[in-house]
Amino acid sequence: MLPDFITVPSTSEKCLSPELLLPNMDENLEDSKPSSLKYQKAMMSRGTCPSNCKVCRHSATGYHYDVPSCNGCKTFFRRSILDGRKYTCLKMRKCLSGTEPVDLSRRMCRACRFEKCVEAGMNPSAIQADMKTTDGELLRKEIMIKQKTAVDFLNTPQVIMSFEDKVQGIIGKLTVMELKIEPLYTGGLPPGNRDIRKLDELIDAPLILSYDEIPNLKYCPSVDELTGEIKPSGACYIHCGYLASIEYSKMFDFAHKIDVASKATLIKHATIMCADIMTAFFSYYQRKSDRLIHPNGMFAGPPKYRYGEAGTKYQASMQRTLATVLRHELNRIEYMLLKAIVLCNPAVSSLSISVQQIIGKEREEYVRTLLTYCLLNYGSVHGPSRFSALLAIMSVLESQQKNAKDFHLLAKATILKDAVRYTRISNLYEQIMES
């Protein structure tokens, strides 16, 4: 198994400490030689019988195909390779997760067992038998290529020498940024107040991380006629999600290197997507909800009494991002890196070549960090597919952004054409939606 350089955080953690994520790698560098898969094994003396099988965690009988393992897992791996068998897991590929020995009273998931064999470093070329089928030879080559690719990548001088500094630094920086901007979203605005600023007032303004720093808040409460109390609203959290995304962008390196017009172009393109994934991740990670929910407990989406069937359909479509986050069980590190990649998009139209290069260079750092994280955390077999699946979430965000803008324009032209009947969320919201 690949060494646990990075630990997947549990959803019970409120934040992540870089020190907990990335232990010192010095002790692993000596074993990280491209000539073998030594970095994948517990380096034990060949004269000592290993205690536990690296696959099922039961007692090992020795080193089989270069990995401490039991006879059962050795035979299973050998048979799978010789026959060219490929298996499918129906339970999110987590059947053999944990640290306790696998329950042998139940049939072990073959897909997860084979994956564990490969990730532990079982060497298919060490099998001294003729392949029974062409599929077997193809599978053997496929596994060898994947293992070699992972070793070559992790053992290039650049990766070895800069891994701790680069990855820990980037994840640590993003963690600090998230901790700074989260209160701006979760705290919302004081009841009855609205932020009346426009986009051009925000772009080049000093960084704001708390609602009490917002200048000229306008007090215009919506009061319940029966109770006389200010009505709870989810609208301010929509605005605060957009505001948090804009303030978040000011903390990136590119923000100090590009002109105001380019910042505005980038913000108009990325704000909705950053706010959407933030709301989805907050709903899943903090609220443990399978529906989009605001920090005050209100469900996100247009109210049915006002928007009718069109609003109901749009509210259902809004859940796609959250559904994707739930399906992939996105963790906090993946969320932070993915949001940074979404923001740093050099392909936005009308950006100059020089600005594209600045933004693209920063985005490349986050892409490389996410790829490295996936390889180390999910192994050489499933790491690349996990990386691809995470990047594919961006297409969902882009689709959601288009749907949001389309619904906004449709609602203004039809349902809300009488402007007196409703209160706009904010000037900023409308500018972003209509950009």
Better-scored residue on pLDDT, 354 or 36: 354
* Domain membership flag for residue 33: no
* Domain membership flag for residue 7: no
Of the ranges 50-64, 311-325, 361-375, which one carries the lowest mean pLDDT score? 311-325
CATH number at residue 292: 1.10.565.10
pLDDT in tens, 95-115: 888 788 888 888 888 999 998
Contact 150, 380 (CB under 8 A): yes
Better-scored residue on pLDDT, 193 or 362: 362
Do residues 167 and 225 both lie within one domain?
A: yes
Q: Into how many domains does the chain fold?
A: 2
What is the DSSP track for 98-167? SSSPP-TTSPPPHHHHHHHHHHHT--GGG--S--SSHHHHHHHHHHHHHHHHHHHHHTSHHHHHHHHHHH
pLDDT in tens, 16-49: 333 334 333 333 333 333 333 333 343 344 455 6
What is the distance between the alpha carbons of residues 38 and 41, in angstroms, rounded to a whole number? Answer: 5
Average pLDDT over residues 61-70: 88
Do residues 129 and 181 both lie within one domain?
A: no
pTM (whole model) above 0.85: no
Q: How much is the pLDDT for 415?
A: 64
* Domain membership flag for residue 8: no
Do residues 129 and 250 both lie within one domain?
A: no
CATH number at residue 88: 3.30.50.10
Do residues 197 and 107 both lie within one domain?
A: no
279 pLDDT higher than 90: yes
pLDDT in tens, 389-412: 999 999 999 999 998 888 888 877
Do residues 98 and 191 both lie within one domain?
A: no
* Domain membership flag for residue 70: yes
Do residues 237 and 374 both lie within one domain?
A: yes
pLDDT in tens, 155-200: 555 544 456 577 888 999 999 999 999 988 888 888 878 888 999 9
Question: Among residues 94, 121, 151, which one ends one of the domains?
Answer: 151
Q: How much is the pLDDT for 157?
A: 55
Q: What percent of the chain has pLDDT over 90?
A: 32
pLDDT in tens, 82-100: 888 888 887 777 788 878 8
Question: Among residues 102, 123, 151, which one ends one of the domains?
Answer: 151
417 pLDDT higher than 70: no
Question: Among residues 127, 151, 175, which one ends one of the domains?
Answer: 151
CB atoms within 10 A of CB 244: 26
Q: How much is the pLDDT for 382?
A: 84
Q: How much is the pLDDT for 46?
A: 47
Query: Which segments of 66-109 does DSSP mark as H helices, in order?
Result: 71-83
Range of the domain at 178: 157-433
Average pLDDT over residues 294-312: 73
Task: State the sign of the Cα–Cα–Cα–Cα dihedral 155, 159, 163, 167.
Answer: negative
Nearest to 131 by CA among 123, 141, 122: 141
* Domain membership flag for residue 283: yes
* Domain membership flag for residue 426: yes
Q: How much is the pLDDT for 156?
A: 58
- For residue 146, the one-letter residue type is K
* Domain membership flag for residue 16: no
Q: How much is the pLDDT for 282?
A: 93
What is the distance between the alpha carbons of residues 146 and 135, in angstroms, rounded to a whole number? Answer: 16
Q: How much is the pLDDT for 164?
A: 58
Do residues 132 and 170 both lie within one domain?
A: no
Binned at pLDDT 50, 70 and 90, residue 423 comes out as: low
Q: How much is the pLDDT for 155?
A: 57
Do residues 209 and 79 both lie within one domain?
A: no
Do residues 211 and 144 both lie within one domain?
A: no
Average pLDDT over residues 45-72: 82
213 pLDDT higher than 90: no
Q: How much is the pLDDT for 49?
A: 65
Do residues 253 and 394 both lie within one domain?
A: yes
Do residues 287 and 369 both lie within one domain?
A: yes
What is the distance between the alpha carbons of residues 389 and 330, in angstroms, rounded to a whole number? Answer: 11
339 pLDDT higher than 50: yes
Q: What percent of the chain has pLDDT over 70?
A: 80
Residue 67 backbone class (left: φ over 0; alpha: ψ -120 to 50; beta: rest):
beta
Q: How much is the pLDDT for 412?
A: 79
The mean pLDDT of the chain is 79
Do residues 109 and 129 both lie within one domain?
A: yes
Better-scored residue on pLDDT, 393 or 306: 393
Average pLDDT over residues 127-146: 81
Average pLDDT over residues 43-69: 78
* Domain membership flag for residue 1: no
